[in-house]
Each structure stands twice: as structure tokens, then as C-alpha cells.
Structure 1
Amino acid sequence: MRSITKASGLGAITAVALMTALSACGSDSLNTGSTGSASPTGSVTTGGADSSLAAMVPADIKAKGTLTIGSDASYAPNEYLEGGTTVVGMDVDLFNAALAKLGLKGTWQNANFDTLILGVTSGKYDAAASSFTINADRMKQVNMISYFSAGSQWVTAKGNPNKVDPDNACGLTVGVQKGTVQVDDLTARSKKCTESGKEAITQVVEQDQSKVTADLISGKVQAMVADSPVALYAVKQTGDKLEAVGKIYDSAPYGIVVAKDQTDFAKAIAAAFTAMEKDGSYKQILAKWGQESGAITTFEVNPSVG
């Protein structure tokens, strides 16, 4: 789950080709005109605008018609850059479908993750969708609408040659992305190791998750830990290079972000997701990206979280 920060489409499965693809993602260049699409094939029927849902949209939002959506497109399969310019991914498909129910469209802009909430509160973006883990601190600043559930997942080399056990990781070298909740998790695990007289966990912290994955493929680290959709996508896209180890844990909801004074718009988005769940388009999109396990059935504005 992305805490304060967050992989490109991974087409080739050889280590060299994969690392080339990975190193290309997470670009700081901004795309100001992408409407978003998706790489994996699969038919998803979202339908047109729902008049009853569109009636829930505040007048100022409805007048815009096309909204500006901020996202850090470096977190495949949730959001990443295709062709270096177009923001695509599961989150893009989901939110675009919800907007369509409301009679709206979105133009997606790529930006650094830690600038997105400020972009929403300042009015630069009408909304942000970027694998935001819902938490109390964020909900003090913005409204958040739950739409997916993700946890943490460990990944190691195929065959687990280092006998990695997430519950007994003392002495391991583990890759992790800067600013994520997984950094806090590893820090806490390492503290328990040293307090019991065992070796600490060595963290190799990278700015981009793509580099973390490349570190694991190259053998620089013995394992990595990341959000479950991202970790499992990396396993799938690398063919016989990686495997998941242990179970998904510490699951929490992702949330779409809108301004604090846009509660009515937030409610409309939640209602659109509810409609998508009922007509099957929500699960169709998740299936397209291989993320059915993260499906939820209740979509809430500022849900209670632990």
C-alpha cells in the first residue's frame, strides 16, 4: 500500500528485457493529455451514463464534463505509462468506468505520488487515483472513496533458493519502495530480530517499485515486499523468474481522492462503483487485470479504518 510514494508494462520475461522495461517506468515527465486505456486484452462492457447517477453530480463538476485526474503512473498493474505517455492500468479503467456512469470523462496526468493530494486540495486536479491506502491522516485532508482492497505480499526468486520465510526474515536482504507501508513493516520486523539477538533485516530501499523488482531479479536482494496487486503482477509478468511466498497480510482499502468540500461528488462516485458492482463491470475490469481477489462489495466515502 502506498504510504507516501509508489512498474511499466512488463512484456518480456527475460531478465535483461525486464529490467530495461522496468527502468523506463516511473518517469517524472508529465502527461497532460492522456485519457487512459489499457494493455491487457479483454472485453469490458461499462455502458453509458446512468441518468439517476448523473443527477448526483454537483453542478460545478458536471459543467466541466472532462475532469483532470492525477496519478503516479509507476505502479503496474494499477497505474503505469504505456508508450511513455499514456496512463493506463486497473485504477484507470475502474475510475474511467465510474466517471462514465456519471456522464463524465477523465484526462489523466502523471505526477510524483507525494504531490497528488496537494494537487487535489489546491484545485490542480479534480481527483486523484493512485493506489492510495485509506487512512485517518489522509481523510483529514480529502475525501476518500473505497474501491479495492490490497495487502502486502512477499516475493522471492523462483524455487525460493534462499528459503525465504516472511515470518522468519532475520538476516535477509529485502527490497522495498521508499515511503511505503512496507518500509514500516520491515523496520518493525527487523527490530524484533535484533531485540531477540538475531541479525537485522537489511533493507534495500528504491525510489521506484520497478527498481525493487529489478533488484530481486538480478539477485541484489533475496526478497521484496510490495502491495499485493503489484507483487503478484510482477510474478506473472516475469514468467519463471519470481514466485510469491507467504500469504497476503495487513489488507486495507484503496481510495479515490477528491477535495474535502466535494462530499456530494464523493457520494456520486461511491454510487457509481456500487452500480458497477451490480452490473458486473467492476469485476470484469478486475478480471481483466487479474486482480479479482481485491474485489470489495461496499463502496464508502471515508470508511472507518484501523
Structure 2
Amino acid sequence: MTIAGHPAPAARRRGRIYRMGALAAGLALFATACGGGGGDGDAGQETTPKVEVEADAELAAMVPQEYRDAGKLVIGVNAEYPPGEFMKADGKTVTGFNVDLLDAAAGKLDLETEWKPSPFDAIITGVQAGKFDVGMSSVTINEERLEQVNMVSYYSAGTQWFTQKGNPQSVDPDNACGKRVAVQKATIQVEDVKERSEKCVDDGKAGITIEQYQEQTHATESVVSGKNDAALADTPVAGYAVKQTGGKLETLGEQYESAPYGAVINKDDTELAEAIAAAYTSLIEDGTYSSILEEWGVEAGAITTPAVNPDVDE
């Protein structure tokens, strides 16, 4: 999409400053996100590092006209999956490393972002229906989703199990028969644990009791409280939960089945997908990408080449 009839992108350049170091403020949020506590959640943020992202004229020229006219991207997000995306204590502001990355990418495109909380399993349908311009919520790219929408890779994560410190219920991810396991609804981990439970039953053992939660924070809290014996989630989420609970949790085994996260865009909107991929690439090249990941402590999942609809193995 061109920008004919509008001021040249260079004439509309403006610096955008995105706060990094939100992790420091976010560490105090876990108890609040799980249904308690209070406070403003912003203590110390004024002294956190910042990154300035300037609009790039060439990248902005890639943006379809309808989004240039709007001047923003409306983004569907399930803000309950720290550290990828979650609500600050004010209950209004979405934060997380995925949020920082897409905010910075939009800045390269000379666009603002408007984040709209949504149930995770309504994000893809919301993009398809035009409710959201982009879906961003630690969405793993797989063949089923690629049949429904365009996806732009920008990060890679595996699955990690975790349990109470000391593993009091002796959970073995490879033999969790008879255990109670928590997962967030509609994630790839649901099918993972279902397949494990089916194998238990096929082997003549008790199946796994699978507790599905709309919000990851509630799934995590169920393990902290002892209601469930273990949980599994994306690697950065599991690591973040262990860190935030102050020694109440520990990871089990190694991560597995690493796969890329993708920004979700409508199938009919390949030009926007290409623009976002180019913006992510620019962030990698100028160092902004690595700075954001390092600030959140999730640099292990960094990738080097964002792509639209990358090949993935099922």
C-alpha cells in the first residue's frame, strides 16, 4: 500500500519512546494478576532504560493505505501470559516483551498501537472478522493456524513443565499418569497433555486430570496452591513464573518442541504482514530487538530472520 495523497513519511517522522525494564515493575505483579493485592505497579519505572524508535520512511511506505489513514494498529491480546503480555496493576496498560517488540515494530512503520484485551481463543477469529488488525499473544505458529491467517515469526519458544519446589508429588513429565496438570485453555499445551493422558490410558494406567484455565496466571497459581501437581507452558512463561513466585516453583526437565511465535494478520492482508516482518528485521539489525529481549531476560528465544508464514514442522 502506498501513501499517495499524504505527506511523505519523512515529513511525519516522530520519535517514539517505549519503556524497557518493565520486567522490574512486572515482577511485583504476579500476586495481583492471580487475584489479590494492589498498588500502582509503576514503582521505579521512571529510572528504567528506554529505547527510542524512529519511523522509517521506506518501511512506512510498505504499510497499506487503510492503516496509514488510521495511523494505528488495533491489536488483539490475551493479557494474561507473563512475561509475553499481561496487565500492569492499573488494570488498563498491557505490558510484556511481545508488547514491547510490536510497539517498536509499529514505531518503525510510523503507526501507533491500540491494545484490545481478548480471550486467547478469540484472537484469530477476531483478526479474521476484522475486529483486530493484528493478533499478538505468544501465538505459536503451526500448520492449522497458517491455514486460517498470515503469521509473522519474531521469536522462538518451546514447552516447559513446572511444579512446586522440590516436586512433592514426584511428577515426571514423561509419566504423569494419575497426576493433576494445569494448562491455559486453547494453547498447544492442551493437546500435548491430552496425548500424554491418552497414552496413560492405553497403557492401562490412570489418565491425567487436565485442568484448563482461561488465564495462565490462574493455572500457575493452582500449582503454587497445590490444587494441581504441575503445569506446562511456553518456556519464557514457565521461567518467569518460577522467578516471580520466590522459590515456590521449579521447572521440570528440559524444554522441548521449540517453535516460532507469530504475529497474526488476516489472510487477505499479506502487505501488512510483509511490512511487520520488515520492521522486525530492522529492529534486529539496529539492536533494539536484542535490547528488549535482554531487558526481559528472554533472549534465549531470539531469532535472526523474521518471516511471513515460515515453514514449520508438525
Please classify the TM superposition score into its range, dividing by the shorter chain length: 0.7 to 0.9
Which residue matches 2:253? 246
2:62 to 27, 34, 56: 56
Secondary structure at the counterpart of residue 303 of structure 2: coil
Name 1:232's counterpart in structure 2. 239
Letter aligned with residue 22 of structure 1: C
Q: Deviations over 1:179-225 (max 9, x none)?
A: 22212111111222222233322222222211111111111111111
Change in CA separation of 1:188 and 1:264 when aligned onto 2, cut-off 3 Å: same
Report which stretch shifted further, 201-210 or 276-285: 201-210
Hey, what does 1:151 align to over in structure 2?
158
Q: Does the 8 Å CA contact 2:59/2:108 hold for their aligned counterparts?
A: yes
Distance 2:51 2:113 in 1: 18
Partner of residue 281, structure 1: 288
Q: What residue in structure 2 maps to residue 134 of structure 1?
A: 141
* 1:1-306 aligned within 5 A: 9-11=26-28, 18=31, 20-23=32-35, 42-82=48-88, 83-306=90-313
Cα distance in 2 for partners of 1:180, 1:24 equals 25
Aligned to 1:29: none
- Higher RCO (C-alpha 8 Å, min separation 6): 1
Q: Aligned equivalents of 2:45 and 2:95: distance in 1? A: 7
Letter paired with 2:77:
S
Q: CA separation in 2, counterparts of 1:40 and 1:206?
A: 34
Q: Contact 2:152–2:306 (CA<8 Å) still a contact in 1?
A: yes
Gaps of 5+ in 2: 1-24, 38-43
Deviation at 1:47, TM superposition (A): 2.6
- Where 1:109 maps in the other structure, the secondary structure is strand
The structure-2 alpha-carbon separation of the partners of 1:119 and 1:304, relative to structure 1 and needing over 3 Å to count, comes to same
> Is the 8 Å Cα contact of residues 120 and 186 (structure 2) preserved in structure 1?
no
Q: CA deviation at 1:290?
A: 1.4
C-alpha distance in 1 between matches for 2:143 and 2:233 = 21
Q: Percent identity?
A: 51
SS in 1 for 2:199: helix
Aligned with 1:11: secondary structure?
helix
TM-score when normalising by structure 2: 0.83
- Tell me how far apart the structure 2 counterparts of residues 41 and 75 of structure 1 sit (CA, whole Å): 25
The TM-score with structure 1 as length reference comes to 0.85
Q: Could you tell me which residue of structure 2 aligns to residue 3 of structure 1?
A: none
Deviation at 1:40, TM superposition (A): 11
What secondary structure is seen at the aligned counterpart in 2 of 1:167?
Answer: coil
Query: What secondary structure sits across from 2:34 in the alignment?
Result: helix
The whole-number CA distance in structure 1 between the counterparts of 2:47 and 2:303 is: 23
Q: Which amino acid aligns with 2:78?
A: D
Distance in 2 between the 1:187 and 1:140 partners?
23
In 2, Cα distance between equivalents of 1:131 and 1:41? 28
C-alpha separation in 2, matches of 1:24 and 1:111:
21
Rounded Cα–Cα distance in structure 2 between residues aligned with 1:40 and 1:113:
31
Q: Aligned pair count?
A: 282
* Equivalent position amino acid for 2:98 in 1: D
Structure 1 residue 70 displacement after superposition: 1.3
CA distance in structure 2 between the partners assigned to 1:190 and 1:274 by the alignment: 40
Q: CA deviation at 1:137?
A: 2.5
RMSD, matched Cα: 2.3
Gaps of 5+ in 1: 1-7, 26-37
SS in 2 for 1:249: strand
Quick one: distance in 1 between partners of 2:96 and 2:47? 12
Greater CA deviation, 201-210 or 215-224?
201-210
Asked if structure 1 preserves the Cα contact closer than 8 Å seen for 2:121 and 2:186, the reply is no
Q: Partner amino acid for 1:84?
A: G
Structure 1 or 2, whichever has the larger Rg, is 2
Whether the aligned pair in 1 keeps the contact of 2:33 and 2:87 (CA below 8 Å) is no
Q: Deviations over 1:222-254 (max 9, x none)?
A: 111111121111101111111111111111111
Letter in 2 for 1:147: Y
- Residues 73 and 114 of structure 2 are in contact (CA less than 8 Å); yes or no, is this contact kept in structure 1? yes
